[in-house]
Amino acid sequence: MKRIPILLLVLFIFSCKENKSGSSSSESTTKVIAGETINTTLIYPEETHFKSMRQITFGGDNAEAYWSFDDKQIIFQSNNKKWGLECDQMFLMNFDDTFKDNKPPMVSTGKGRTTCAYFLSDNKSFVYASTHLDNDACPEVPLRKNGNYVWPVYDSFDIFVADLEGNITAQLTHEPGYDAEATVSPKGDKIVFTSDRSGDLELYTMDIDGGNVKQITDELGYDGGAFFSPDGNKLIFRSSRPKTEEEIKKYKGLLADGLVEPTDMELYICNADGSELRQLTNLGNANWAPFFTPDGKRILFSSNFEAERGFPFNLYLIDIDGKNLEKVTHGETFDAFPVFSNNGKYLIFSSNRNNGGGHDTNLFIAEWQN
């Protein structure tokens, strides 16, 4: 969700799509990575930024996968029912792991719903949001309001720190309302997150220990899914900002019910303190899940702006000045949540490819080439 439970968006898309049939690439070569034979036919012919690709998960909805600072491990969320899950929980994997016939270690409590885990710079702990203090059970998941697709904004979400055995070592937020979508600066010194403590969904930063909280955005609308640039000096995020009286009334009414509509979002960029804020995209539909390229000069994001019926979602690159838009993936269903490794060699993302025509969203790691 960087955030809100964005897997709900995946479920919505799945209700009205078909898979790309046949082979996804004209190539049939294989590679051996960490002792595993990798088939490059996971790559569509037009996807020239991918040198090779391997599939990590094989069932359920898997997303929000983020690298440790040393790139040796990855943390992600899943609702795979074969793992005994009713809603999203957090799981840990090594870089070379694959979970086709086994289950990764769960590092959240197994209670409530969780979202948006992100490693701290010590590679021994991570932050994530959870509703478990409010209730052990998974919260209800509304998908529609007045006929329109919605996301829930659970006021029971708070942000916690845990070690890699799943033991919670600190609670970082204590304000009433929604606190979630936390990510960590590459410098390891700051956390950016979304909160409605002001009465609106705004971005905030805080120190690693939860202190020194500062509000970053202050315009009406949902601001979320923020990430720092590689040097820690900028933020990229998604936003749905109502303009007309009708849009404003609708937004406020939904938020009062703990809901937002995610179908009309654009990307915004600013300095880490909120200064020099500007809109980066003006494409229409839903533009979200942005992440800086390793050189900090471009943004990789997911969008359905070319879609006529809400799908497909593909990955696109755009310069930080809003120029040179480039299509990266070429599927007919869903590609999202792209995250580069810290060394810039790999990209992990979620995709509906290679799921046999079902509803599963799985994790894939691709070797990246410019």
Contact 314, 352 (CB under 8 A): no
Handedness of CA 81, 85, 88, 89 (dihedral sign): negative
What is the per-residue pLDDT for 15? 33
**Residue 83 backbone phi and psi in degrees, to 5:** -95, 10
Please identify every stretch of the chain with a pLDDT value under 50, giving residue numbers as ranges.
Answer: 1-31, 33-34, 36-40
Q: C-alpha distances in angstroms, 166 versus 70, 114, 136, 261? A: 19, 13, 16, 32
CA–CA dist 209, 27 (Å, integer) = 49
**Residue 81 backbone phi and psi in degrees, to 5:** -65, -25
What is the per-residue pLDDT for 220? 98
**214-265: per-residue pLDDT in tens?**
999 999 999 999 999 999 999 999 999 999 999 999 999 999 999 999 999 9
Contact 114, 125 (CB under 8 A): no
Q: C-alpha distances in angstroms, 9 versus 12, 154, 164, 217, 310? A: 5, 16, 28, 24, 11
What is the per-residue pLDDT for 16? 32
Judged by phi (left if over 0) then psi (alpha if -120 to 50, else beta), residue 232 lies in left
Class of domain 7-349+361-368 as given by CATH? mainly beta
Maximum separation of any 2 CA atoms in the chain, in Å:
59
**150-194: per-residue pLDDT in tens?**
999 999 999 999 999 999 999 999 999 999 999 999 999 999 999
How is 122-157 classified by DSSP, letter by letter? TSSEEEEEE-TTT-SSPPP---EETTEE-EE--TT-
Token output for 59: 């069932």
- Total-model pTM: 0.90
Distance of CA 179 to the CA centre of its chain: 16
- Beta strands 346-351 and 362-368 are antiparallel
CA–CA dist 155, 138 (Å, integer) = 13
Contact 366, 354 (CB under 8 A): no
Token output for 325: 């838009």
Nearest CA to 41 out of 363, 367, 288, 354 is that of 354
Which helix (H) or strand (E) covers residue 200, if one does? none
Contact 117, 152 (CB under 8 A): no
Residue type for position 309: R
